[in-house]
Structure 1
């Protein structure tokens, strides 16, 4: 399927789990025909059990429910959790339960998308997983993140994409009872004034589509660029685009992690600070709690929300999905939110805050230059397995708990 701009859409910004979860659960509870969900992480906590309940209720009243999870991101679901879903008629798919010999390699290519479509009429897209750490009452480690609710013709594009992902990834054998295919959803009528395009990254024909859309927006920027991204370590060309924009007078601001969920995230991003600051790029570290967002605004019209970080995993390996939005009102709302973060919850990084020796910095800059400009092509040399979904039988645990991985999932 193609990626094209569509007119007549409406987007509502949802910040953190407090806004996202109630709205998603409300829409699923009202579903009449179909619920499609893709998520990297589904935990069996208070959020996961609530999702479990609304999906069970939907399936029991005859709604066709398909949920796709990632075996690495969601390794610890119990047999009871899974079997109750499948017995109710939920079709549960697990992304890429690879053979043991290749499992470690395939960890580098994960299904990282977070998508929902209900009745072909409403869609949700963003960076929020189904886990309690997206709620403020989780404590200091609660994540700061975003999603959008979409109405209008763009929903048909996301709906078609999700069905295609199931068709492309599923093996011939199914353990669940197959239902008759639903009739093609009627393309939703115009719902607002936003232009939008649904963009995904895969390991086939769309390897760099999300990055190219980011870079195009940055190259066309005239007034401002604000990027809030949890895991920031993009390629050299992306960094050069940021510096070039700043040097022609665009106010370029990056909101990165200052209270990271993993220390290496902040360390990696900090390796780029000298290069960016010398190019007049403004850097802010968000310090209230871990930043998990993947959003940006450019000038007064363009914005993006989605699952893609700006790091090697998202840009060169994982399966990702973002929506690009051209709408002054949505841009204003997201821009004001990010401005508030910078004003009230961030520390601005200045050159004087960086204390590394000049010799080490020069050596590292030389190394980074050569690594960053080449890593997408190097990553492409890794095995690029075709996406494959396993459809679970009633009593089968998620990939046997993905062998009860000793490592924690990295969101």
Structure 2
């Protein structure tokens, strides 16, 4: 047994050394965001006057509707004439993923420089499509912290075993930047479930579209990750023959003829809200106190803790004097987070938290980590609510009745807030790189609070309480509320799995 362990450690060390040498040779040439110009592109001409009218300020626009979130990306890609920089944890090759890939390819055909940075953990198997896009002279594709083995499940599994520590750290950032003038930052990845196109379950999510100084900050963050040692060109990894560009273009264009794409095409054509944003006519929230903040790419390699996002979040949250309201789909506060929330209540601060119920949570392990904190938080006076798994069918373009919380936001004292990719769990704190927009603007903060109020309503969430030493769920759709003694709308085996997982020492990975 000891010999096997020694051999495993030695193999892991050699794998790390070999990968490091490979990565040094494979890293691509550095490049930087193309600077905005006074009137070079359509977006320059529409946004420059707005910035001139609000010198030193940032313009913010909350994007809470999923279909609008798709439209703002598609329409900004169509308006772009200089550059598109996109950075995502997940980019699915489903309907919406293919439609947005087509927008990027068409932009490149117009001469727009396109840079695509995707985390590799969910990109495995998509090499052929990414490599095909990278054939275009105006498109570059890089994968963050990729596995070297692309040939099959067995080889990748061995590499994941030998490089378990390094491959466990991921880039969770989400950003879309058009012409250095407009950026979209928030919680959404690219895929059907983020844009109301999934036929089973769709995410409730939020982004913030920004103009002004936050766009430059977002571009600087993108450049830092793009030029880091963790971002490798897809050509250096994928060895399969790429699909010729004309064939790829025909394949992507075929979606336009299908019935499933019609709702999206119609929404993009009819979305007055998003079109006004792209045309510079939308009513933006202007403030001098807004910034896009991010973990540094070095966090993905465990290098130090300087500049980590959690410090900025703790600073802003610690300024609360009256109220702290949090929306977090994955909520595992840890002992330190639990202590901070309890101390806030003891200082007289109203603390309210909305997260997923077990029935609406797509990761049972995370729910097991959260469950152990419910009772002490409730007993300390923290208000907890859990999202119900089913929402109204009209919320989806395709009639989906499932709902899962994916919004990551908090509001401090009803006047400042944060919207981004940061979950309140150990993985976001210590393992993944995260980013988001923090700002002080009472009206926009109220818009984020309105999301909380909608999701946390009696029609969409359960209230939680402690009765006779046990956690109970209150279904407030009835008067008086119906009291449930176990996780609502779940089966015994789901609850059993969570109970078993609670005993495992896995909280640091959640």
TM-score range, shorter-chain basis?
Answer: 0.7 to 0.9
In the alignment, structure 1 residue 29 sits paired with structure 2 residue 78: yes
Q: Give the counterpart of 1:199 among 267, 282, 293.
A: 293
Task: Give CA-to-partner distance per residue, 1:76-95, whole Å, 9 cap, x none.
Answer: 32624641453353101111
Task: Give CA-to-partner distance per residue, 1:143-195, whole Å, 9 cap, x none.
Answer: 1111110111111111122112212237798959xxxxxxxxxxxxx982251
Structure number with greater CO (CA < 8 Å, separation at least 6) is: 1
Task: Give CA-to-partner distance per residue, 1:191-219, whole Å, 9 cap, x none.
Answer: 82251122212413556732223322332
Asked if the contact 1:218–1:242 (Cα under 8 Å) also holds between the matched residues in 2, the reply is no
**Where does residue 283 of structure 1 map in the other structure?**
384
Superposition pairs of residues 6-405 of structure 1, within 5 angstroms:
8-77=57-126, 79-80=128-129, 82-87=131-136, 89-99=138-148, 100=159, 102-169=162-229, 192-202=286-296, 203=299, 204=303, 206=305, 209-258=308-357, 259-287=360-388, 288=390, 289-343=403-457, 344-352=459-467, 354=471
Size of the aligned set, in residue pairs, is 347
Identify if the C-alpha distance between structure 1 residues 7 and 103 changes in structure 2 by more than 3 Å, giving closer, same or farther.
farther
Identify if the C-alpha distance between structure 1 residues 16 and 124 changes in structure 2 by more than 3 Å, giving closer, same or farther.
same
Question: Aligned-pair distance for 1:109?
Answer: 0.3
Question: Aligned-pair distance for 1:252?
Answer: 0.5
Which has the higher mean CA deviation after the structures are superposed, 334-343 or 192-201? 192-201
Asked if the contact 1:28–1:55 (Cα under 8 Å) also holds between the matched residues in 2, the reply is yes
**Where does residue 359 of structure 1 map in the other structure?**
none
- When Rg is computed on C-alpha atoms for both structures, the one with the higher figure is 2
What secondary structure, in the 3-state scheme, does the structure 1 residue paired with 2:190 have?
coil
Question: Aligned-pair distance for 1:16?
Answer: 4.7
Q: Distance in 2 between matches of 1:206 and 1:36?
A: 27
Question: Aligned-pair distance for 1:35?
Answer: 0.7
What secondary structure, in the 3-state scheme, does the structure 2 residue paired with 1:29 have?
helix
Q: Distance in 2 between matches of 1:131 and 1:59?
A: 21
Question: Aligned-pair distance for 1:264?
Answer: 2.4
Q: Distance in 2 between matches of 1:231 and 1:173?
A: 32
Q: Distance in 2 between matches of 1:75 and 1:22?
A: 27
Q: Distance in 2 between matches of 1:340 and 1:228?
A: 12
Identify if the C-alpha distance between structure 1 residues 252 and 85 changes in structure 2 by more than 3 Å, giving closer, same or farther.
same
**Where does residue 401 of structure 1 map in the other structure?**
none
Using the size of structure 1 for normalisation, the TM-score is: 0.77
Task: Give CA-to-partner distance per residue, 1:94-130, whole Å, 9 cap, x none.
Answer: 1112343644333310111101111111111111011
Which has the higher mean CA deviation after the structures are superposed, 18-27 or 135-144? 135-144
Which has the higher mean CA deviation after the structures are superposed, 342-351 or 31-40? 342-351
**Where does residue 391 of structure 1 map in the other structure?**
none
Question: Aligned-pair distance for 1:317?
Answer: 0.6
Q: Distance in 1 between matches of 2:224 and 2:193?
A: 31
Q: Distance in 1 between matches of 2:313 and 2:287?
A: 22
Asked if the contact 1:230–1:309 (Cα under 8 Å) also holds between the matched residues in 2, the reply is yes
Q: Distance in 2 between matches of 1:167 and 1:86?
A: 20
Q: Distance in 1 between matches of 2:99 and 2:229?
A: 27
Unpaired segments of 5 or more residues in structure 2? 1-54, 149-158, 237-283, 391-402, 473-484, 486-498
Asked if the contact 1:257–1:265 (Cα under 8 Å) also holds between the matched residues in 2, the reply is no
More helix as a share of residues: 2
What secondary structure, in the 3-state scheme, does the structure 2 residue paired with 1:109 have?
coil
Asked if the contact 1:229–1:256 (Cα under 8 Å) also holds between the matched residues in 2, the reply is yes
Asked if the contact 1:41–1:130 (Cα under 8 Å) also holds between the matched residues in 2, the reply is yes
